[in-house]
């Protein structure tokens, strides 16, 4: 019997599980949820013309409700929805902060597959009996995620290993969801203002490209070997050994690593591990990846970073990686040089080459924002800011980025996500971390050595090496000076939203008229005994409402002109 047969024996034939592998069902759930969210947003903007504190709280409540519904649907269906949720949680450039907070807790929570399926899959992939390769294996996985499951086992040669297998029909599920996402992106491009300024085709391609790579375990094997070779001389970092002869597109076999999560301070204290030294080792490990060309580990959460009793740090999962190209490091250096020399033309030119700025971006406004940010670093006002001010500044910057045609590529987004995740891990591990002090030697060397960096550090380097999450006091002044501009932009955005809402409402009402008229004609032709007067009255009411909506829409357009 094939592994599909074993799976079907163990599967519970409930209605929800039966439909889970249906393209029509999955597409309907995903597309309907998108339409529902867009309609709720339109209705909210239609009902709230004044954006005071009360309205803002209602708006956040709506977003939280939508994010929770998305999370529940993602956990129910699995597949791409979980990965898209994790991807969206990285996109501060266009996603609301409250939505990101809800999605940041989205983890792969799916029930494990029956062991007979795992056994049959391994035998089919290895083309041999399981007992020919493995002397012992657990009946249930030690970890279960949306793409794969991990079993602890012992090979015939006595090696203690972790065996990762691909979930049942996961490739079919992903490719069904890719088609549904294409419909979703079309809806967003037609009915939302975001669709007018963002390159949704590029965003869709990036999503498919990034997630499709995770379906091929041979790619993960390739990445794991790359990192093992790259850091083979680092005595404080351990990358597991991979058993290549047993690895396939659907199966990954690597050495078993004993340890605790990097954030388990109780474990570290129990085994007398130097916490500060561990944090410094981890900081240097990731800083090297972020600054230099090559691959970087894009999913550095605590579950993927273990600390052994000896204090050795093990990185155990390379399913999600990004790429810092040689050209990227050149761009980063040019941006820093532009900041040092106050050459904002060079900065804007570099950002353009990095494809940060889409056609139509207001470069002068972007340049002004960067200048104000630099002023803030120079003012050194980070220490004076409370949490509320920081949150407000981050929200204003997010709004600014959202309103401008600015879009990060997937690799830059994952780079930013990896930076923020590892920073959170480091702060939890060692709250007294001094990022500037720890980064200074590496950054000096990265910029070219003593000859170049001496002049840099004599002018600005102290300020530019302050913690990456600081925001300038000068930006507060910019926010105050730009209040009228932002109010105008907000009104303009609300008008655009109302315009799209009217179009959507007119389309729905016109469709209802067509369906109703067709139904009434069918009733008349077939002489069906139905109260025609009631039907005609309903059509008249809909026609009257449509006329009112058209008039209000026309007045709004006339007013805007």
CB 220 within 8 A of CB 152: no
d(CA 118, CA 174): 20
d(CA 281, CA 285): 6
pLDDT, position 509: 72
| Residue 128 CB coordination number (10 Å) | 11
Closest CA to 472 of 384, 365, 364: 384
Task: Tokens for 423, please give them.
Answer: 């920073």
How many Å is the maximal CA-CA distance in the chain? Answer: 94
Most confident option among 132-146, 337-351, 466-480:
132-146
Report the sign of the C-alpha dihedral through residues 469, 473, 478, 484, in that order: positive
237 DSSP β-pair partners: 313
pLDDT tens sequence across 2-45: 554 444 444 433 444 557 788 888 988 998 999 899 888 888 88
High-pLDDT (> 90) share of the chain, %: 23
Cα of first residue to Cα of last residue in the chain, in angstroms, is 70
pLDDT classification of 236: cutoffs 50, 70, 90: very high
Distant-in-sequence, close-in-space partners of 30: CB < 8 Å, separation ≥ 6? 73, 77, 81, 177, 180, 181, 184
CB 305 within 8 A of CB 313: yes
Q: Is 261 helix (H, G, I), strand (E, B) or coil?
A: strand
Closest CA to 513 of 535, 542, 536: 542
pLDDT, position 237: 96
Nearest 5°: the CA angle 138, 302, 137 is 10
307 DSSP β-pair partners: 260, 313
Q: Which residue has the higher pLDDT, 282 or 443?
A: 282
Please give the backbone phi and psi of residue 248, each rounded to the nearest 5 degrees, phi first: -135, -170
Asked whether the whole model's pTM tops 0.85, one would answer no
Task: Tokens for 494, please give them.
Answer: 């609300």
CB 523 within 8 A of CB 532: yes
CB 274 within 8 A of CB 441: no
Q: Is the predicted pLDDT of residue 94 greater than 70, yes or no?
A: no
Per the prediction, the chain carries an average pLDDT of 76
Q: Which residue has the higher pLDDT, 183 or 355?
A: 183
Q: What are the counts of helices (DSSP H) followed by strands (DSSP E) for the chain?
A: 25, 11
- Burial class, 149, CB count within 10 angstroms (exposed 0-12 / middle 13-18 / buried 19+): buried
Task: Tokens for 69, please give them.
Answer: 């519904």
d(CA 109, CA 559): 51
Closest CA to 259 of 214, 205, 315: 315
Closest CA to 280 of 439, 464, 466, 444: 439
pLDDT tens sequence across 282-324: 999 999 999 899 999 988 888 889 999 999 999 988 988 888 8
pLDDT classification of 227: cutoffs 50, 70, 90: very high
Most confident option among 2-6, 165-169, 274-278, 528-532:
274-278
pLDDT, position 251: 94
Distant-in-sequence, close-in-space partners of 346: CB < 8 Å, separation ≥ 6? 334, 337, 338
How many Cα atoms sit within 13 Å of 295 on the Cβ side? 19
pLDDT, position 234: 94
Q: Is the predicted pLDDT of residue 91 greater than 70, yes or no?
A: no
Q: Which residue has the higher pLDDT, 107 or 117?
A: 117
**Lowest mean pLDDT, pick from 145-149, 159-163, 206-210:** 206-210
d(CA 319, CA 295): 12
pLDDT tens sequence across 491-548: 555 666 666 666 777 777 777 777 777 666 665 666 555 556 666 667 777 777 777 7
Q: Is 384 helix (H, G, I), strand (E, B) or coil?
A: helix
- Beta strands 148-155 and 160-166 are antiparallel
Q: Is the predicted pLDDT of residue 326 greater than 80, yes or no?
A: yes
Task: Tokens for 461, please give them.
Answer: 């380097």
CB 305 within 8 A of CB 315: yes
Crossing angle of the two packed helices 532-560 and 483-526, in degrees rounded to 10 = 160
d(CA 198, CA 190): 12
d(CA 403, CA 493): 9
Distance of CA 267 to the CA centre of its chain: 31
């Amino acid at each position: 019997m094939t592994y599909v047969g074993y799976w079907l024996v163990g599967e519970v034939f409930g209605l929800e599980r039966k439909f889970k592998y249906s393209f029509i069902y999955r597409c309907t759930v995903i597309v309907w949820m998108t339409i529902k969210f867009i309609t709720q947003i339109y209705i909210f903007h239609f009902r709230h013309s004044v954006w005071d504190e009360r309205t803002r709280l209602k708006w956040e409540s709506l977003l939280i409700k939508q994010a929770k519904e998305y999370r529940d649907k993602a956990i129910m269906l699995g597949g791409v929805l979980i990965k898209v949720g994790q991807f969206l949680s990285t996109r501060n450039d266009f996603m609301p902060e409250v939505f990101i907070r809800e999605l940041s807790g989205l983890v792969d929570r799916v029930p494990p597959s029956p062991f007979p399926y795992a056994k049959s899959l391994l035998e089919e992939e290895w083309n041999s009996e399981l007992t020919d390769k493995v002397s012992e294996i657990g009946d249930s996985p030690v970890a279960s995620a949306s793409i794969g499951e991990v079993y602890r086992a012992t090979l015939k040669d006595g090696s203690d290993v972790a065996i990762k297998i691909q979930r049942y029909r996961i490739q079919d599920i992903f490719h069904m969801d890719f088609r549904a996402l294409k419909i979703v992106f079309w809806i967003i491009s037609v009915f939302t203002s975001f669709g007018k300024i963002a390159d949704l085709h590029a965003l869709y391609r990036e999503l498919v490209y990034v997630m499709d790579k995770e379906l091929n375990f041979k790619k993960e094997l390739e990445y794991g070997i790359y990192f093992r070779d790259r850091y083979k001389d680092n005595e404080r970092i351990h990358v597991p050994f991979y058993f290549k002869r047993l690895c396939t597109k659907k199966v990954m076999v690597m050495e078993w690593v004993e340890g605790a999560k990097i954030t388990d301070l109780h474990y570290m204290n129990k085994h007398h591990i130097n916490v500060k030294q561990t944090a410094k080792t981890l900081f240097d490990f990731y800083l090297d990846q972020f600054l230099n060309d090559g691959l970087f580990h894009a999913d550095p959460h605590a579950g993927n970073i273990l600390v052994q009793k000896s204090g050795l740090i093990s990185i155990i999962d390379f399913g999600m990686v990004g790429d810092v190209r040689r050209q990227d490091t050149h761009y980063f250096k040019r941006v820093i040089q532009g900041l040092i020399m106050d050459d904002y033309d060079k900065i804007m030119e570099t950002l353009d080459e990095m494809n940060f700025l889409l056609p139509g971006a207001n470069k002068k406004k972007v340049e002004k924002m960067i200048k104000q940010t630099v002023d803030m670093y120079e003012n050194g006002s980070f220490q004076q800011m409370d949490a509320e001010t920081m949150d407000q500044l981050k929200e204003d910057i997010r709004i600014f980025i959202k309103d401008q045609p600015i879009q990060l590529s997937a690799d830059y987004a994952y780079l930013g996500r990896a930076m923020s995740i590892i920073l959170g891990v480091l702060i939890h591990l060692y709250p007294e971390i001094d990022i500037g002090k720890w980064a200074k030697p590496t950054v000096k060397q990265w910029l070219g050595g003593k000859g170049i960096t001496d002049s840099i550090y004599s002018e600005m380097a102290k300020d530019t090496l302050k913690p990456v999450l600081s925001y300038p006091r000068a930006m507060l002044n910019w926010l105050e000076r730009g209040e009228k501009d932002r109010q105008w932009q907000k009104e303009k955005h609300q008008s655009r939203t109302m315009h799209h809402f009217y179009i959507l409402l007119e389309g729905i009402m016109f469709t209802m008229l067509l369906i109703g008229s067709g139904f009434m004609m069918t009733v008349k032709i077939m002489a069906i005994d139905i109260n025609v007067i009631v039907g005609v009255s309903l059509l008249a009411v809909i026609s009257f409402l449509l006329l009112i909506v058209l008039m209000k829409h026309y007045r709004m357009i006339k007013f805007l002109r």
